[in-house]
Structure 1
Amino acid sequence: MSTPKIPKLTPIIQPWIKDLTSNLNQVNSWIDKYGSPINLLNLDSFNQNFRRYDGIFKEYDLKSSVFFARKANKCKSFVLAAKEFGFGVDTASLNEIKDCINAGLAPEKITITAAVKNRELLSYAVAHQIPIILDNKDECELLHQILIEVNKTIRVGFRMSGFWHNGEKLYSRFGFDVDDVVDFISENITKAGKYNRFKYHGLHFHLNGYCTEQRIHGLSQTLDVADALSNLGLETTFIDIGGGILMNYLASSSEWETFHKSLKESINPDKKEITFQKDLLGIIHVDGKLIGEPKVYPYFNELYQERFVEKILTGIKDGIPLYKHLIQRNIEIRIEPGRSLLDQTGITIAQVAFRKWDSQGRLLVGLEMNRTQLFSSSADFLLDPIFLPQNKIADAPCEVYFVGAYCLEQELILKRKIGLSQHPQVGDLVCFVNTAGYMMHFYESEAHLFDLAQNLIVEKKDTWEAIPDEEYWINCRK
C-alpha cells in the first residue's frame, strides 16, 4: 500500500487568533473556568467585514444597506455590534427579532425573512413597525388580519423566485414566482386592493448556491419587475439580493485542488485513507466509477466577499451595468451576509479527553465536545485545526481522527484524517479556526444533557480578556 502524505488544508488565520492561541496559560484558564469546548469571538473582525461591503457600495456610489443574517450565529453580542457599527440585522425567528428591539436597533435596521411567520411573530412586528418580507399568500392573509385588528399599516417587501437562467427556471421553495408577482402586487397592494394596509417598499430574493451569473440574472429580472410596478404607480425603494456571498477560508488553491484529487484517488485499494473509512464526502462510488463532487462548502475561492458582490453589480443588463440601473431608478441595494460577515470572527477550542486505537488501527483522539458543535450542512469542515499541546515532547508526528462525546459510531468531529506534530496527550487543546459562521450553533444540540458551549467575547487590552456573551449583552445595554 502506498503511503502518501495527508493533504494539508491550511486555513487563513488572522493575527488576533495567532496571538491569542500563543498564550496557552490564558486559554487554559478559560477552559478551566468555562469547560470544553469554548467559542471565542472577536467583534473587531465583524466590523472589518462590514466595512469591506460598505466600501464597495460607496465605490459605486450606491444607496445601500447591509443586514447581518443572524441565523448564522446565535451570540447576542453580534446584534449589539451591528448597532454600534451602523448596519442592520436580518431575522429568522421571533426571539431574534426581540433581541434586535432589546438592543435598541431602529425598526428600519431590522428585516424579517423568517421561513415561517406565525401570528405571534407578525403581531410583534406590527407592534414595533418592523418591515416584513412576505413569502406567500397565507402570510399576506394573516398579516392583513392582524393589521385590521389593531388598525395599523406596515411596510412590506416581497420575496421572489423562479428566475430564468439559461432557459430554465431556478427552483426555490420560497417566494412568489417572478412571472406572477407583478399581477399579485398590483392587484392587492393598493388602496382598493385586498391588502390595502400594506405599504409596498421593495423586492427581495435569496438564491441557493453561490453562482454570480444566477444572481446577475435574478437582479436583472427583479429590476424588470420594479419597472413594471413603477408603471402601475408602485415605486420600489429597495432590492435585497440576500446572502450566499462566498468567503475564502484557505490560504492555498493548490492545497484545495490536491485534496480533491487525493480524495478521489483514495478509494483505490492501494491508496491510504485520508477520510474515515474512505468516506468520499458525498461522491458516489458505483461499479468502479465516481459520480458527483464532494458535498462541501467551496472552502477556497478567488472571488469572495465584496468582490463577489462587485461581480454582480457590474453584470450587464441592456448594455448597462446593473449598478447604473439601480442608480438611475434611485433603488437601494441590500444584502444579507451571514457566513461572510463572520469571517475570522470566531474559533472553537476543545480539550483532549482520551487517545485510543480502534479495531482497524486508527488513532482516535476523543475531545470534550460533540460533533453538533462543529457542524453545518457541509459533509466535513475542511480546515486544518491548530494543535496546542501543553508540553513539547520528543515524539514522532502522527495521524489522528478527532471523535466526540455522543454515543454514536459516526460521532466524528472531522471525517478527515489530521496530521499532528506529536502524539496528543490528555489535556492538550485543539483549536478549530473560523467557526463563527454556521459551524458553532446552527446544529448545536444538548443531547445526553450536555451543556452548550460557552460563548466568550474576547478583547485585547493589556492582556486578553474574555466575557461571556450573555454578560457582555447585559453590560453593554446598561
Structure 2
Amino acid sequence: MTFKRDKGILCVENINFLKIAKIFGTPCYVYSKKKLIKYFNYYKSQLSLINHPNLICYALKANSNIAIINILSKIGSGFDIVSIGELEKVLTAGGDPKKIVYSGVAKKKQEIKRALKVGIKCFNVESFQEMDRLNLIAIKLKNKANISIRINPNVDAKTHPYISTGLKTNKFGIAIDKAEEAYIYAKSLKNIKILGIDFHIGSQILKINPFLEALDNIILLIKKLYKKKIKLNILDLGGGLGINYKKIKLYKYLIKKYFSTICEIIFANIHNIEIILEPGRSILANTGVLLTKIEIIKKINFKNFAIVDAGMNDFIRPAFYNAWHNIKVVDLNKVKYYKNLFYDIVGPICESSDFLGKKRYLNKLSQKDLLVIHSVGAYGFVMCSNYNTRKRPSEIIVDKNKIFLIREFDCLKSLWKQEYINRYVKNVNLF
C-alpha cells in the first residue's frame, strides 16, 4: 500500500488514518481498492504471457469479505473455495459459479450437493473416498461431477511447517505414487468427469525452486497419463507465492521470475491445456493495514511495552506463526528530538503470546498514539475470533477519496446471540 505524508499525518490514498480511526474506532482494518486491482491485474498481465487459456482463481481463505470478492469478480477473477460458507459468499457477492474450483480434504455431502446444483467449474479431489462420495451424489442428482485430482508431489516448500502442504506426511492430496491408480479409478466412475490435475505445495513460498520441482514431477505424470489415454484439459498450479513482509518491492520481481520460468517449462512440455492459478496472499496482503491505538505505556526493568487495543484475537499471525509485520506510528507532529526506543507491541488478551511485534525501534511512544500494522490484507481479519469475548474489528475500503464501511464492529449482544441458558431440545436418553 502506498503511504504519503500530509501535514505530519501518515496517509493512504489521501485519506489520513487519524480521521479513519476517529470515525470508525480502533482496531480497524483498512484496504485499498486501487492496490487490490493493481495486484490482481499484475497477475493477469503475467499470465497472458502463457499462450494457453487461463483463469485466476483467487483463494478466498486469504480474505473472504464480500466487498473484496465483489471487486475481484467484476475484474474477471474466479475463486478457489474450501467450504460451503465460501461458496455462498462468492454467490452472494456476484461471483460466477462456472469460475469456482472447490478444494479441501473433507467436503461434506450437503456441500457437494450444493456445489453440483449451482454448477461450479470443478472439484479438486483429494482422496479415493471423495471420488466415491462425489460419484454417488452425482448419480442421485442425475448430474456429472467435474474433477481435477489434487496430487501431492512430495516436495518440501521450505516454508513454515503449519503452511506446508506438499509433503507426503501432509494430509492434502493423493500421493504421487498413487496418482495413476487414482486417475484410472476416476475414469471407471460413471458420473465423474476428469478435467485436470491440481497441486499446491504450501503458502508463503519465496523461492522458485520448490514450484519447479513440483511442476517437473507433475509434467512427468501428465505424460504417463496421456499414454494411458487419459487426457487432461486443466493444469491447476495452485497458489503459494509469498510476499516479503520486510521488502514489498520484491513482490513484482518474484512473480515475474515465477512466470518467466513456468512459461518456459509449459511451452516445452504441454499443449492445449487451460492453466489455473490460485493466488491469495500475494494479491491481498499488501492492500491492507490494521490501525490500533496505544492504551498503556508500561516499562518493566529494561523493557518497554506499548499495550494496544488490538490483540491476538484481531490479528493472530504474530502469535500463531511468529510472523513479522512492519509497524509504524502515525506521526502526530511529534517533537523531533524525541529519542527512539525499543518496544514490544502487545495486546490486551490474557495470554503471554499476545503480541503484534517485539523489539521494535520506534520514536518515543505515548498513550493514544495510533499505530499502523502493515501487510495484513491476507490472513488478517479472516482469522479473527471473539476470544476473551472481544468484538471483532470493523473493515474499511478506500476508493480514491471515498471511504466505504464493508464490515461493522461486532456489537456486544452478537457475542452471545446464539448461546442459551438450558435451552430444551428434546428428551433423549443418552445412557
TM-score category by the smaller chain? 0.7 to 0.9
Equivalent position SS for 1:186: helix
Q: Distance in 1 between matches of 2:408 and 2:305?
A: 35
Asked whether 1:304 is paired with 2:254, we answer yes
8 Å Cα contact 1:66-1:87 kept in structure 2: yes
Shift of 1:212: 2.6
- State how far apart, in whole Å, the 2-side matches of 1:323 and 1:57 are: 13
Q: CA deviation at 1:324?
A: 3.2
Structure 1: how far apart are the matches of 2:377 and 2:248? 21
Q: Is the 8 A contact 1:389 1:425 kept in 2?
A: no
Amino acid at match of 2:69: V
- Rounded to whole Å, the distance in 2 between the matches of 1:460 and 1:196 is 53
Deviation at 1:333, TM superposition (A): 1.6
2:312 paired with 1:371: yes
**Whole-angstrom CA distance in 1 between matches of 2:179 and 2:50:** 29
2:132 equivalent to 1:151? no
User: Match of 1:403, as an amino acid?
Assistant: V
Structure 1 counterpart of 2:355, from 406, 412, 420? 412
CA contact (8 A) 2:344 2:355 kept: yes
The Cα shift of 1:128 comes to 0.9
Q: Is the 8 A contact 2:155 2:201 kept in 1?
A: no
Tell me the equivalent position of 1:69. Answer: 59
- In structure 2, the partner of 1:133 is 124
TM-score, normalised relative to structure 2: 0.83
Contact 2:246-2:326 at 8 Å conserved across structures: no
2:110 to 103, 112, 120: 120
Deviates more, 1:92-101 or 1:20-29: 20-29
1:198 aligned partner: 192
- What is the CA deviation profile of residues 169-202 of structure 1, one whole-angstrom value per residue up to 9, with x for unaligned ones? 942321112222222222332xxx2x21011100
Distance verdict in 2 for CA 1:367–1:224, change over 3 Å: same
Kept in 1, the 8 Å contact 2:3–2:11? The answer is no
Query: Separation in 2 of the partners of 1:161 and 1:43?
Result: 35
How far 1:233 sits from its partner (Å)?
Answer: 3.3
1:106 alignment counterpart: 96
* Structure 2 match to 1:184: 182
Partner residue in 1 for 2:10: 21
Aligned to 2:393: 453
Shift of 1:117: 0.5
Q: Deviations over 1:190-219 (max 9, x none)?
A: xxx2x2101110000001363533322322
1:334–1:188 Cα change, 3 Å: closer
Counterpart of 1:372 in structure 2: which amino acid?
N
- Pairwise CA distance, 1:350: 0.3
Q: Provide the residue aligned with 2:293 in structure 1.
A: 351
Contact 2:396 2:403 in 1 (8 A): no
Q: Does 1:55 align with 2:55?
A: no
Map 1:164-175 to 2 at 5 A: 170-171=167-168, 172-175=170-173
Q: Distance in 2 between matches of 1:361 and 1:203?
A: 56
2:403 paired residue among 465, 469, 472:
465
**Is the 1:94–1:121 Cα contact (8 Å) retained in structure 2?**
yes
Between the two proteins, the alignment pairs up a number of residues equal to 391
* 1:296 corresponding residue in structure 2: none
Tell me if structure 2 keeps the 8 A contact 1:385–1:430: yes
The range that moved more, 111-120 or 175-184, is 175-184
- In the alignment, the residues of structure 1 paired with residue 181 and residue 215 of structure 2 have an alpha-carbon distance, to the nearest angstrom, of 19
Residues 16, 457 of structure 1: alpha-carbon distance in 2 compared, 3 angstrom cutoff: same
Distance 1:33 1:116, change over 3 A: farther
Partner of 2:21: 31
Q: For the structure 1 residues 136 and 309, does the alpha-carbon distance in structure 2 shift closer, same or farther, using more than 3 Å as the test?
A: same
Whichever residue aligns with residue 341 of structure 2, its letter is: C
Bigger mean CA deviation after superposition, 242-251 or 142-151: 242-251
The one-letter code matched in structure 2 to 1:325 is N
Letter in 2 for 1:310: S
Question: What displacement does 1:16 show?
Answer: 5.1
Q: Aligned residue for 1:5? A: none
Q: Distance in 1 between matches of 2:371 and 2:92?
A: 36
Letter in 2 for 1:453: P
Q: Which amino acid aligns with 1:357?
A: K
CA distance in 2, matches of 1:398, 1:163: 46
Unaligned runs of 5+ in 1: 1-13, 254-299, 315-320, 472-478
Report whether the alignment pairs 1:421 with 2:363: yes
SS at match of 1:152: coil
- Output the CA distance in 2 between the equivalents of 1:412 and 1:164: 32
Distance 1:36 1:137, change over 3 A: same
Look up the match of 1:243: 239
Deviations 1:225-284 (A, max 9, x none): 33333333332111111111132333499xxxxxxxxxxxxxxxxxxxxxxxxxxxxxxx
What's the secondary structure of 2:140's corresponding residue? helix
Report how far residue 339 of structure 1 moved.
0.8
User: Which amino acid is the alignment partner of residue 118 of structure 1?
Assistant: K
The match for 1:381 among 285, 302, 323 is 323
Counterpart of 1:426 in structure 2: which amino acid? Q
- Residues in 1 aligned to 2:22 and 2:248: alpha-carbon distance in whole angstroms: 35
Task: Summarize the Cα distance change of 1:115–1:362 in structure 2 as closer, same or farther, 3 Å threshold.
Answer: same
**Counterpart pick for 1:218 among 210, 214, 224:** 214
Deviation at 1:74, TM superposition (A): 2.6
Task: Kindly indicate whether residue 343 of structure 2 is the aligned counterpart of residue 400 of structure 1.
Answer: yes
RMSD of equivalent CA atoms: 2.7
For residues 252 and 51 of structure 1, the distance between their equivalents in structure 2, rounded to whole angstroms, comes to: 17
Cα distance change, pair 57–26 in 1 and its aligned pair in 2 (3 A): closer
Tell me how far apart the structure 2 counterparts of residues 170 and 447 of structure 1 sit (CA, whole Å).
Answer: 32
Instruction: Choose between structure 1 and 2 for higher RCO, CA contacts under 8 A separated by at least 6 residues.
Output: 1
398 and 103 in structure 1: CA distance in 2 versus 1, 3 angstrom threshold:
same
State the distance in 1 between where 2:400 and 2:48 align.
30
Query: Counterpart of 1:372 in 2: which secondary structure?
Result: coil
Q: SS state of the match for residue 314, structure 2?
A: helix
Match of residue 95 from structure 1: 85
Displacement after TM superposition at 1:120 (Å): 1.7
Amino acid at match of 1:115: V
**Which amino acid is the alignment partner of residue 98 of structure 2?**
E
Distance 2:395 2:141 in 1: 39
Which secondary structure state, in structure 2, belongs to the residue aligned with residue 200 of structure 1?
Answer: strand
CA 345–25 in structure 1, closer or farther in 2 if over 3 Å, else same: closer
